[in-house]
Amino acid sequence: MKKVALVTGATSGIGHAIASRLISEGYRVFGTGRRSRENIPVPLLPYGLEYLQMDITNPDSIESTVLEVIAEAGRIDILIACAGMGIAGSVEETTFALASHQINVNFLGTAQTIKTCLPHMRNQSFGRIIIIGSLAGRIGMPYQAYYSSSKFALEGFTEALRYEVKPFGIDVCIVEPGDFRTGFTDSRQKIFGTTPAYATRAKIVLEKQEKDEKNGDNPEKVAILVVRLLAKRKLPIRASVGPMVQRLGAWLKRIIPAKLFEKIYTIYYSIR
Ligand SMILES: NC(=O)c1ccc[n+]([C@@H]2O[C@H](COP(=O)([O-])OP(=O)(O)OC[C@H]3O[C@@H](n4cnc5c(N)ncnc54)[C@H](OP(=O)(O)O)[C@@H]3O)[C@@H](O)[C@H]2O)c1
């Protein structure tokens, strides 16, 4: 019997690559995005994907999507919680509404999707949940405080959830990508210019960050890692993927004094 996977954010980038790879590995894959099926050109979806419309900021939408998968396939073995977006700008310039939206999509939306799948996984005494976090959830990114916070929150969420669901045969892992070439960079909402005091430094940093993303790895690399993780008997707590120098940065942060790491990062972004 084919294992059944639900991949959020399967219309683009990392989610698209993971869904495609799982299909080619023989999984039955349901994938989600916010648009209705009719509004997505078929060639843009992974071949063989069973597409469902879902907005992860809307609990009713999540509930009905999960119930639809259960009605169609009878189970959800694997959840890849990938949907997400980013905002950039100084904390002072970011409105409460935009900050809330960032946290609602990346953290609460992901948490709600997982919560909705849990009773089904618990009933079937099996589940594998892979959360797509970010290396920005290990290192605070300048002028992306809310994005980083949403991904830091997922780190704590993953650690805590693992204890809760282990007795039910459910395993959880957070995958932490560095920079990847996806639609993420162009979709980013930027808030600059309302406070000139921040403008120059913010511009320097964001240009560097976006250049790194555009020169980032192919999302296929995340998909290969996910398939490798799913083949394991037990999932690790976290796994990073992406350009070596960025993964080294996260490792370095763990072993050197915090102030020294901050200094290195400041030099990297030319914002001394
Ligand atoms: N690219 C990178 O360098 C990078 C690095 C680290 C982590 N990540 C993480 O990887 C994940 C995927 O990003 P990506 O790079 O593949 O970006 P992407 O190409 O922009 O894809 C984002 C996906 O999320 C979906 N999405 C966005 N908001 C949603 C919402 N409210 N409800 C449901 N679906 C929503 C989009 O679907 P629709 O637009 O069709 O609704 C799309 O499928 C994100 O969590 C991101 O934070 C990316």
pLDDT value at residue 271: 86
**For residue 64, is pLDDT > 80?**
yes
**For residue 175, is pLDDT > 90?**
yes
pTM attached to this predicted model: 0.97
Cβ burial, residue 30 (10 Å; 0-12/13-18/19+): buried
Alpha-helix residue ranges (DSSP H) falling in the chain: 13-24, 59-73, 96-103, 110-123, 145-165, 184-187, 196-214, 220-230, 244-255, 258-268
Percentage of the chain modeled with pLDDT above 90: 94
Give dist(CA 252, CA 27) in Å, integer.
37
End-to-end CA distance of the chain: 57
**For residue 193, is pLDDT > 90?**
no
**Of 147, 198, 265, 268, which is the active-site residue?**
147
pLDDT value at residue 31: 98
pLDDT value at residue 192: 79
At 87-115, the pLDDT tens digits run 999 999 999 999 999 999 999 999 999 99
Query: Is the four-CA dihedral 31, 33, 39, 44 of positive or negative sign?
Result: negative
CB 127 within 8 A of CB 117: yes
pLDDT value at residue 220: 98
Query: What residues does ligand 1 touch, defined as CB less than 6 Å away?
Result: 8-9, 11-15, 33-35, 54-57, 82-85, 105, 109, 132, 134, 177, 179-180, 182-184, 187, 213, 216
**For residue 139, is pLDDT > 80?**
yes
Q: Give the pLDDT band of residue 41 (cuts 50, 70, 90).
A: confident
**For residue 272, is pLDDT > 80?**
no
Which ligand 1 atom lies nearest to the CA of residue 213? 3
**For residue 186, is pLDDT > 90?**
yes
Q: What is the mean pLDDT of the chain?
A: 96
